[in-house]
Amino acid sequence: MRCPFCAHAQSKVVDSRDTSDFRIRRRRECLKCAKRFTTFEDVQLEEITVIKKDGRREPFDRNKLLAGLMRACEKRPVPRLVVEKIVEAVEQRLRKRPHKEVPTTLIGELVMERLKKADQVAYIRFASVYRSFTDIDSFEKALHALKKAARK
């Protein structure tokens, strides 16, 4: 690892820590100029492939999932940290599966299971897009199911 200050090729690791997003943070010190800098190592994980409703396949993109959840939680009292934890929990669950091809239906169900506990309005918003509500009846059915689950 070259020093970003003097380009010297040798440095020593002063501190090493795991981060929550499958990365390793290393604090380094240059052996020539003694300046410190931070590097991040990504752990290479087996790629998850998402099978879309129309049969297309694409790589799992946690940022795409995060963006969808942030849209559902827009103007709701759901902290970003909660949304990020939902995405992280879903991704970890997918990585534990023996099959690395995952249908979008499974991802949607995993998200909704967690989102329902975080915020019911955000849950309905996400469900309306995920389940492609076509009319008011399908919307009412989802609301009725949510109310029924809340009474239990």
Q: Do 143 and 85 sit in the same domain of this protein?
A: yes
Q: Is residue 5 part of a domain?
A: no
* Alpha-carbon span 14 to 37, nearest angstrom: 10
Q: Is residue 97 part of a domain?
A: yes
Across the chain, mean pLDDT equals 89
Q: Do 20 and 54 sit in the same domain of this protein?
A: no
Question: Given this model, what pLDDT does residue 42 score?
Answer: 77
Report the 10 Å Cβ neighbour count for 118.
Answer: 19
Q: Do 35 and 93 sit in the same domain of this protein?
A: no
> Strand runs (DSSP E) across 52-122, as ranges?
57-59, 101-103
Q: Do 57 and 117 sit in the same domain of this protein?
A: yes
Q: Is residue 74 part of a domain?
A: yes
Q: pLDDT band at 147, cuts 50/70/90?
A: confident
- Tell how strand 11-18 and strand 23-30 pair up: antiparallel
Q: pLDDT tens-digit profile of 93-111? A: 998 898 889 999 999 999 9
Q: Which residues form the domain of 137?
A: 49-151
* Alpha-carbon span 88 to 66, nearest angstrom: 9
Phi first, then psi: give them for residue 80, nearest 5 degrees.
Answer: -55, -35
Q: Average of pLDDT values for 111-120? A: 91
Q: Do 71 and 18 sit in the same domain of this protein?
A: no
Q: Do 68 and 132 sit in the same domain of this protein?
A: yes
**Contacts for 16 with CB less than 8 Å, ≥ 6 apart:** 24, 25, 26, 27
Which helix H or strand E contains 91, and what residues bound it? Answer: helix 80-96
Q: pLDDT tens-digit profile of 25-70? A: 999 999 999 999 999 887 767 889 999 989 999 999 999 999 999 9
Q: Is residue 30 part of a domain?
A: yes
Q: pLDDT band at 143, cuts 50/70/90?
A: confident
Q: Do 26 and 92 sit in the same domain of this protein?
A: no
Q: Do 21 and 90 sit in the same domain of this protein?
A: no
Return the structure tokens found at 17. 């820590």
Number of domains forming the structure of the chain: 2
Q: What residues pair up with 17 in beta bridges, in sequence order?
A: 25
Q: Do 63 and 29 sit in the same domain of this protein?
A: no
Q: Average of pLDDT values for 111-119? A: 91
